[in-house]
Amino acid sequence: MANQSGAESETADQRGGDTPQAVATTEYDYSNFYYSSSDDLFAIFGPYDDWWYGSARNSGYYLFSQPMSTPPGPRINLEEQLHHETLKLFNLASHNYLGLSTHPEVIAAAHAALDKYGLGAAGSPILSGTMDVHLTLEKELAAFKHKEAAMVFPTGYSTNVGLLSALMRPGDWVILDQNVHASIVDGAILAKAQVKFFRHNQPADLEKKLKGTTGKRLVVVEGVYSMDGDIARLPEMVEISKRAGARILIDEAHSSFVYGAEGRGVVEHFGLEDEVDIHVGTFSKALGGQGGYVAGSQSLYNYLMGFARSRVFSCALSPAVTAGVLAALRIVKREPQLRQRLWENVAHFRSLLATAGVDVAESTSQIIPIMIRNDRKILGIAQKLQKEGLYLQPIIFPAVAKHRSRFRVSISASHSTADLDRAAAILIKVLREEEIIK
């Protein structure tokens, strides 16, 4: 999710009096409930519930957090929450890029670890929560990334929050692409560092924002941006950062294990693995599991052991999940054909959209935004897609800026060509009926 505090977001306060009393309830969104004039902390709950159970839910907000009763594969069963019926849908919404969440070896490894270790780690990684399977994963991940060390975190969110707050201090500078993930923004806020945002993927603006900053500086970019699906202009970002004497961090949540000849991410794709100072990624996308990692020097690992509070004060990643992630990592190293299949699927689906004239913005990756740019209309289109048999989540404020609403397609190696053809046909049919395309 793009940042809520970043340059492209807008709060009710910034909009100047756009309060619940100022507009009809059908025009509300989350920004109308960010502040309350009452001294009672809970006073906002009543108006929020009135909106949520009234116009919000019925107009399409029920589409969020609907439960699946199947794995996140190409076809799913969804428990629809408005009419309470089970829907069988084509799934283009899950980040299961290599289809590994249900791979037999991954499931078997998780089962075996469950039998061996039990359900949870039952402790912080720095106290009693570290098990041999955690250290094996860290060792093999570091070798895969060609780094001295890699540290595992319980979630991707806690990885960035823990990393940024561990390294940065008040007075330091964090220079962020305006579209970085909320976890990066939150980490910088928690560190109480000074923050500047540069225009998305614009090296010239990064250079401009670096001027006038002194002291410790960290530039943060993503490999593939989660909402737009474009990749970082990394060679220029690295060159500018190094010339300015700033360190650079890349979050490869959506590009590790899928980009590069060996799957080591956008840094491998550009031949810049040794030029980037800190490498972050997650296990919840291409590896189909959960958790995150930081890869870099042994000294970085040592320091984070003491100062990454989101890891120090959390229970360690479940050993069953850890074992499943380890099995998935070994499959990634052994079977490059999974990445080949993914990119063939991406090219096929893109060709179908291009022929129909669908706006996918600047995306070049397996994340393909279907730009709607109409915040009022998108929830109705999402309901129609669901009725036609396609599962795609609407992406609206605060995940993206207002009037930048879109659907986010996530292609997987596990999709068949027939799945993609049928899903594209549904999508194009509905977009034409709604006059989004001609």
Query: What are the catalytic residues?
Result: 226, 254, 285
* CA distance linking residue 41 with residue 48, whole number of Å: 13
Query: 3-state class of 179 per DSSP?
Result: coil
Residue 97, number of CB atoms within 10 A of its CB: 28
Sign of CA dihedral 234, 299, 142, 134: negative
Of 423, 73, 3, nearest to 407 (Cα)? 423
Q: State phi, psi for 395 to the nearest 5 degrees.
A: -115, 115
Amino acid present at 14: Q
CA 341 to chain centre: 22
* CA distance linking residue 107 with residue 198, whole number of Å: 42
Query: 3-state class of 287 per DSSP?
Result: coil
Scanning 192-294, the segments in alpha helix (DSSP H) are: 203-210, 234-244, 266-269
Residues 289, 321: contact at Cβ < 8 Å? yes
* CA distance linking residue 71 with residue 254, whole number of Å: 20
Of 151, 20, 99, 34, nearest to 397 (Cα)? 34
Exposed / middle / buried, residue 11 (Cβ in 10 Å: 0-12, 13-18, 19+): middle
* CA distance linking residue 60 with residue 304, whole number of Å: 42
Of 228, 230, 232, 172, nearest to 198 (Cα)? 232
* CA distance linking residue 407 with residue 92, whole number of Å: 10
